[in-house]
Amino acid sequence: MTEVLSYDVLIMGSGLAGLRAALSAASVDRSLSIAVISKVQVMRSHSVSAEGGTAAVLFEEEGDNRESHVYDTIRGSDFLADQDVAERLVSNVPYEIYQLDHWGMPWSRRSDGRIDQRKFGGYSFPRATYAQDKVGFYEMQTLYDTCLRHENIHFLNEWFCTSILSDGSSFRGFTAIEMKTGEFVIIKSLAGIICTGGAGRIYGFSTYAHSSTPDGLDMAYRKGLALKDMEFVQFHPSGILPSGILITEGARGEGGYLVNNQGERFMKRYAPEKLELAPRDVVSRAMIREIQEGKGFKHETGIDCLKLDLSHLGAERIKEKLAGIREIGIKFSGIDVINEAIEVRPVCHYMMGGIHTNIEGETEMSGLWCAGEAACNSTHGANRLGANSTSECLVWGNITGKHAAEHAQRVKDRTMTLPEQQIIEEEKRIYDGIFHGRGEMNPYEIKKRLAELMDSKAYVFRDGNTLAEALKEVKELKRASWRHVDDKAYEYNTNYINVMEIDSIARISEIVLVGALNRQESRGAHARIDYPSRDDVNYLKHTLAYYSHEGPELRWYPVQITRYAPVERKY
Ligand SMILES: Cc1cc2nc3c(=O)[nH]c(=O)nc-3n(C[C@H](O)[C@H](O)[C@H](O)COP(=O)(O)OP(=O)(O)OC[C@H]3O[C@@H](n4cnc5c(N)ncnc54)[C@H](O)[C@@H]3O)c2cc1C
């Protein structure tokens, strides 16, 4: 008999959004049982690697103001952000910074003891609240410590969720594999929150943890929920070679700059006012243009790149504020940034798109919310500003945790039946279709091929022909016979988990490509060389992708404009 566990609130994902949601739900009602389920140990969630900062307006007395944070976010988004959502982010995030402070977060401080902030790309004021260059690690540690003080928050670590259960319109729980035993388990719940993070491992050259695969997005998509704005993928200017590991924008915030092979600080030609601290889409495009004009460097692997110079900042400042990236440079590129400029290239770093939610983080399924990078509540539109994602995770972790807990209180006394047929079908899908599948090709070869296609054909600049070629190939790879698992063990079968992840990578890559082909304009991070201008008449709208057997069906969804009419972006 399949084991059935039961909770009041069930959170999938133990990153910043998931942990913040758990604490918020626990604060509503201490009698609710809350579970956080995660395919990795809590402190291995990708949030731990956030480096640079969390954006918030803290110093109004020194000239900063919330309206400016709202407008920077909307301008950064190339006017595709929902403006009411950007306003909510900005008004709620200062509370989150101080709440973390009260829970013990070791924010970096000024000499007078007040919390410090640094410059970040696209902002009109230093607004990135930081903890050296390890902000995610300290935020996660603070939230996790605080969760452990709550007896009603339970952790199911190294459990891999495979599907969402519903009775048609309402959430009923998730199905999962307990990785330690290989058991298939049903976890029912009155309310659910998806916090599965970004899908950056659909690319090969990527700053993300290898666990950042699109499982959560795919579960929602297969269940008939819309994915929104998936064509907008952020490429961060400074991924080191050859690994793609991130050098935080905080390095440029502290005064680092980019140079081409003529020793020129080229950003002055592309963004005369903000230079390297223009938004990431602007800087990444400028870098690729320099490379195309022959002004790049060649890394020893043959890859084209530019250089990020920090050496003028001095050893003392680098050791105090950028110790983490110095260590990364030494260990993974063999370069000490105190002495030498480091080779960098735009790298896949963030998904603006995700599961379609409203401003409250509610999905299209009753009883199911979504927060953090997996969600697309439209805070970031076509391009996210650095430091605004950890902010979003905290703000909507809090909002969705509260809603889910209140929903659980409301429906607690109702009898809920489990959807037996769905459970049977899910067992068939993952056991007969994947575990005992009869694929002939190596699934890891398929993963590599998919990533190469995305890296080369859906990168910083895109065009219709190449996107169409990539789509054709992805469809062929999807159809090819590869779904099988060589390792037949039940206990800790990571081969099995990987093949399920690759299955979701194939479907989600296709959605990114279809969305990118369909959007015949350039906006934010989506730059089409065949449609180089923004087209507000036809495309000032969100893309929704719904599941069909043949591939995603697209629809449009309106953008919320409150006070800021779209204008041309200049930096
Ligand atoms: C290198 C790097 C540096 C960054 N720096 C910054 C920064 O300085 N400032 C900023 O604002 N943003 C930064 N970002 C972005 C930001 O860190 C992320 O967007 C954010 O942390 C995502 O948090 P999350 O809670 O949504 O998900 P994650 O932290 O990605 O967690 C996802 C969780 O979902 C779980 N999960 C996924 N699939 C399953 C499944 N099938 N079953 C069970 N569990 C599952 C995982 O186990 C994990 O616990 C950075 C990102 C990267 C990659």
Q: Which residue has the tokens 């953008």?
A: 559
Q: Is the pLDDT of residue 416 over 90?
A: no
CATH number for the domain including 481? 1.20.58.100
CA distance 270 to 569: 12
Q: Which atom of ligand 1 is nearest to the CA of 135?
A: 8
Judge if the beta carbon of residue 128 lies within 6 A of ligand 1: no
Judge if the beta carbon of residue 52 lies within 6 A of ligand 1: yes
Segment 98-125 mean pLDDT: 97
Residues 338 and 428 in one domain: no
Q: Which of 168-172, 326-330, 501-505, 564-568 has the lowest mean pLDDT?
A: 168-172
Q: Is the pLDDT of residue 1 over 80?
A: no
Give pLDDT, residue 177.
98
**Measured CA angle at 50 (ends 452, 198), to 5 deg:** 45
Burial track 186-211 (b if 16+ CB lie within 10 A, e otherwise): bbbbbbbbbbbbbbbbbbbbbbbbeb
CA distance 346 to 296: 13
Judge if the beta carbon of residue 347 lies within 6 A of ligand 1: no
Residues 343 and 430 in one domain: no
Residues 338 and 427 in one domain: no
Beta pairing partners, 309: 257
Q: Is the pLDDT of residue 180 over 90?
A: yes
Residues 438 and 529 in one domain: yes
Active site residue 222: no
Residues 533 and 425 in one domain: yes
CB count within 10 Å of CB 354 equals 29
Residue 521's domain comprises 420-541
Query: What's the CA-to-centroid distance between 36 and ligand 1, angstroms?
Result: 15
* Given the residues 69, 252, 384, 483, the one annotated as active site: 252
Beta pairing partners, 109: 115
Q: Is the pLDDT of residue 95 over 90?
A: yes
CA distance 92 to 90: 6
Residue 460 in domain = yes
Provide the phi-psi class of 361: left if phi over 0, else alpha when psi is between -120 and 50, else beta: left
Residue 422, token pair as written in the block: 């769905």
Q: Is the pLDDT of residue 208 over 80?
A: yes
Query: What's the CA-to-centroid distance between 137 and ligand 1, angstroms?
Result: 11
Q: Which residue, of 347, 369, 403, is where some domain finishes? A: 347
Judge if the beta carbon of residue 38 lies within 6 A of ligand 1: yes
Confidence of residue 2 (pLDDT cuts 50, 70, 90): confident
3-state secondary structure 435-481: HCCCCCCCHHHHHHHHHHHHHHHCCCEECHHHHHHHHHHHHHHHHCC
Give pLDDT, residue 254.
93
CA distance 561 to 564: 7
Give pLDDT, residue 207.
97
DSSP letter at 29? -
Q: Which atom of ligand 1 is nearest to the CA of 51?
A: 8
Give pLDDT, residue 237.
97
Confidence of residue 417 (pLDDT cuts 50, 70, 90): confident
Query: What's the CA-to-centroid distance between 161 and ligand 1, angstroms?
Result: 16
Residue 535 in domain = yes
* Given the residues 201, 236, 326, 403, the one annotated as active site: 236
Query: What's the CA-to-centroid distance between 476 and ligand 1, angstroms?
Result: 30
Residues 429 and 342 in one domain: no
**For the chain, what percentages of helix, strand and coil (3-state, to nearest 5) are there?**
40, 20, 40
Query: What's the CA-to-centroid distance between 373 and ligand 1, angstroms?
Result: 7
CA distance 97 to 334: 35
Q: Which residue has the tokens 């110790």?
A: 323
Q: Which residue, of 302, 318, 347, is where some domain finishes? A: 347
Segment 337-356 mean pLDDT: 98
**What are the DSSP calls for 282-298, one per residue?**
HHHHHHHHHHHTT--EE
Pairing of strands 233-240, 342-351: antiparallel
CA distance 336 to 328: 9
Computed over every residue of the chain, the mean pLDDT equals: 97
Q: What is the pLDDT of residues 210-251, one digit of tens each?
A: 999 999 999 999 999 999 999 999 999 999 999 999 999 999
Give pLDDT, residue 498.
98
Substitution site in 47, 134, 238, 321 for ligand 1 pocket (most atoms within 8 Å of beta carbon): 47
Beta pairing partners, 307: 259, 343
Judge if the beta carbon of residue 234 lies within 6 A of ligand 1: no
CB count within 10 Å of CB 540 equals 18
SS3 105: coil
Q: Whose CA is nearest to atom 13 of ligand 1?
A: 50
- Contact in structure between 535 and 542 (CB atoms under 8 Å): no
CA distance 65 to 50: 25
Residue 138 in domain = no
Segment 440-463 mean pLDDT: 97
Q: What is the pLDDT of residues 123-165, one digit of tens each?
A: 999 999 999 999 999 999 999 999 999 999 999 999 999 999 9
Q: Which atom of ligand 1 is nearest to the CA of 18?
A: 25
CA distance 232 to 150: 38
Q: Which atom of ligand 1 is nearest to the CA of 349?
A: 53
Q: Which residue, of 313, 328, 347, is where some domain finishes? A: 347
Q: Which atom of ligand 1 is nearest to the CA of 54?
A: 11
Q: Is the pLDDT of residue 415 over 90?
A: no
Query: What's the CA-to-centroid distance between 197 and ligand 1, angstroms?
Result: 4
CA distance 295 to 136: 35
Closest CA to 24 of 372, 354, 388: 372
Give pLDDT, residue 243.
95
Q: Which residue has the tokens 């460097």?
A: 297
Active site residue 252: yes
CATH number for the domain including 284? 3.90.700.10
SS3 570: coil
Beta pairing partners, 6: 188
Residue 492 in domain = yes
Beta pairing partners, 458: none
CA distance 201 to 47: 15
Q: Which residue has the tokens 């409250």?
A: 360
Q: Whose CA is nearest to atom 53 of ligand 1?
A: 208
Give pLDDT, residue 434.
95
Q: Which residue has the tokens 């409150």?
A: 562
Can you say whether the dihedral through the CA atoms of 390, 234, 349, 125 is positive or negative? negative
Can you say whether the dihedral through the CA atoms of 238, 244, 246, 247 is positive or negative? negative
Confidence of residue 380 (pLDDT cuts 50, 70, 90): very high
Segment 71-82 mean pLDDT: 98
CB count within 10 Å of CB 263 equals 10
Residue 307 in domain = yes
Residues 323 and 429 in one domain: no
Residue 162 in domain = no
Segment 370-392 mean pLDDT: 98
Residue 455 in domain = yes
**Measured CA angle at 301 (ends 297, 303), to 5 deg:** 45
Q: Which atom of ligand 1 is nearest to the CA of 40?
A: 47
Residues 250 and 337 in one domain: yes
Q: Whose CA is nearest to atom 8 of ligand 1?
A: 52
Residue 523 in domain = yes
| Structural domain count, the chain | 2
